[in-house]
Each structure stands twice: as structure tokens, then as C-alpha cells.
Structure 1
Amino acid sequence: MKKNLAAPVDIDLQPGYAIRRLHQISVGIFLQSVGEGGVTPVQYAALQVVSNQPGIDQRTLARNIALDTSTTGGVVDRLEARGWLERRTSPEDRRARQLFLTRAGDQTLAETIPAMLRAQEQILAPLTERQRQVFMRMLQVLVTQNNDMSRAPSNIR
């Protein structure tokens, strides 16, 4: 009989595993709340950042939503194909493209925000108000302190 060399480890007690599971749950709740044909969590983030910073360039958008530039390019392509985002040539640098929401993109974002907020509430629903505050504070510490270890570090505010 072959003996395992590795010591048994309970994956349910590992933070990385729990974070991955929470991410899966979070995405599932978001998509249920937003509904079929709605935006994905990453598309929502891109729309919200462009709404907050009209004229942002794609590279800065990538840093703000913590994605690599090629993935962000695909997200922008899909949002543009859906008529929610447009690229314009920067007046300062003709090689750069600025991003703006279209009227339809602004409307989609406005319609998505209530569903997104319901999803956030549902994610945290098992926690008391005090636990939510502590959890979010600790989560921000982990994200901020480990940001540089990401394959796509964000512009942390």
C-alpha cells in the first residue's frame, strides 16, 4: 500500500481557499441580482470607474479595477460592442484613447446600481452590523497590504 507523503491539510481552514469560495459566491449573488443579460462584476466596475472619471484612459482604468491591460482591453471591447462605452482620441496624445459612457451605458449603470447594492447586502447578510464593519476593515487591510503581490496591482486610494 502506497503511503501519502504530504501531511493532511483541511482546505476549508485555509484563507486562500475560503477567499476563492467567497469570490465564487459573490459573483453568483451579483449575477442573480443583476439578472440575465446584465453586466458582470468586472463590467460593472469598469462602467462605474469610467462614470466616476470620464475620459480615463484604458491603462489607468486597468490599474483602477486591478486587471491586466489585455483583459481590460477585452472588457472595453465588449462594453463598446454593447453600446455602453465609447473610445475617443485624446486631444493631448493622438495615440491614447479616452473612455466615456454612452447614454445607454449611463442608463445601464443607473439600472445596475440598485441590484449591485442588493447583492452587496446579501453577501454580508449573515454578519451583524458590527461584524460587517470589522470584516470590511480587515478585508481592506489584507487587500492594501498585499496589493503589490497581485499580478495586476490596483491604484489603491
Structure 2
Amino acid sequence: MNKNVESINHLLRQLMLEQQRIMTADLNADSGLTPQQARALSVIHRHPGIIQRELADTFQRRSASISNLLQILQRDGYITRKVPTESERTKQIYLTPKGQAAIAGFDAYYDTVESRMVKNLSPVEQQTLIGLLEKMVGSYDPPAGALQTAGSATAKV
């Protein structure tokens, strides 16, 4: 394997693992939620009435994995699922008051964690990195429902 590619893979993985470690520890201590549960609540908050398939597409996960996540969130009182009158085959997902309370401050929290990741980079270096990463991502055919770039509605998932 090319040494540069090996270093890039290692550093990207290290960055994501460190961010995940910090988020898991902080979220669990503050709310008892996992990062994936917190992200799901944030997406549901931004898209009230989202259906399970759309959530699975957003997270690029199998529907069964999302189903398990939703069952836990519903069991713990964070979400409710409602069957719309026009379609009895799908359930729309909404936050409960407990879910609304849980997400208060999530965006600020994510901003803090994400800012930490780039605190040693100037704005110009950040833009350069974005351009380089977009080129790397562009070398793959994006799967259906792929996460969109920073300006999209699903960027913080």
C-alpha cells in the first residue's frame, strides 16, 4: 500500500475515533444517550414526521439497525411514532417533550466538539482541507441517500 494513502487512512480514522470517544463520554455522562441516538434525535427535530426509511437513508444504515435504535428511543420516551391517515404502512417519527428537552443544547455541543477538531487550522487551511476531502469523496460513486455536504439539511448526522 502507498505510504501516503496508509497515513491518510490512519489519520482520518484516528480523528474520527477520537471525536467519537469524546462525544460518547460527554453525551453518556450528560444525558445517557449514545452519539447515534443524539444524532437521530437532532435529525428528527429538524425533520418532524420523518419516516424510518428516510432516517436509514440519512444514516446510511440498514432499516433493521435504525428500527432497533428507534425502539430504544421510543421505549425510553424520547420519540413517538404515529401512523398518518393517508398511509397505514408507514409511521412518522416525532420527538416527545422528553426528546425536545434532550436535544436542547445539542447543536451548541456539536459545534464545540467540531470546533475542537479544527482549532489548530486557519480558515484558509480549513477550506483547503474541505477541498481536498471533497476531491477524495468525489473519487467514489456516492450511494443513494449519501450524506450531503456542510450546507445540507443532513450534514450534522
- Same fold, judged at TM 0.5 (above): yes
Residue 125 (structure 1) aligns with? 119
| 1:109 partnered with 2:103 | yes
Percentage identity across paired residues of the two chains? 22
Aligned length: 148
- 1:57 aligned residue: 51
Aligned match for 1:154, one of 141, 146, 150: 146
Is the CA contact 2:79–2:95 (under 8 Å) kept in the aligned structure 1? yes
The equivalent residue for 1:4 is none
Give the alignment partner of residue 40 of structure 1, picking from 34, 37, 41. Answer: 34
Q: Which range is displaced more, 69-78 or 129-138?
A: 129-138
The aligned counterpart of 1:72 is 66
Deviations 1:68-120 (A, max 9, x none): 21111121112112211111112221121110011111111113222221111
Deviation, structure 1 residue 55: 0.6
Shift of 1:64: 1.4
Q: Out of 21, 27, 30, which is 2:14 matched to?
A: 21
Q: Distance in 2 between matches of 1:80 and 1:18?
A: 36
- Cα separation, 2, equivalents of 1:115 and 1:17: 26
Distance 1:9 1:138 in 2: 18
After superposition, the C-alpha distances for 1:26-60 in whole angstroms (9 at most, x for unaligned) are 10222344351443222222111111111110001
Judged with a 3 Å threshold, the aligned counterparts in structure 2 of structure 1 residues 28 and 155 are, in CA distance, closer, same or farther, namely closer
Determine the C-alpha separation between the residues in 2 that align with 1:144 and 1:65: 19
TM-score by length of 1: 0.77
Unaligned 5+ runs, structure 2: 153-157
Using the TM superposition, give the Cα deviation of residue 10 of structure 1 relative to its aligned residue in structure 2, in angstroms. Answer: 5.3
Q: Distance in 2 between matches of 1:71 and 1:144?
A: 27
Q: Any idea what the Cα deviations from partners look like across 1:9-31, whole Å, max 9, x if unmatched?
A: 75983433332222101102223
- Report the CA distance between 1:132 and its aligned residue: 1.9
CA distance in 2, matches of 1:147, 1:104: 39
Q: TM-score, normalised by structure 2?
A: 0.77
Mark the runs of 5 or more structure 1 residues left unpaired by the alignment.
1-7
- Structure 1 stretch 136-145 or stretch 40-49: which is displaced more? 136-145
Decide whether the 8 Å contact of 1:84 with 1:104 is kept in 2.
Answer: yes
Shift of 1:154: 2.2
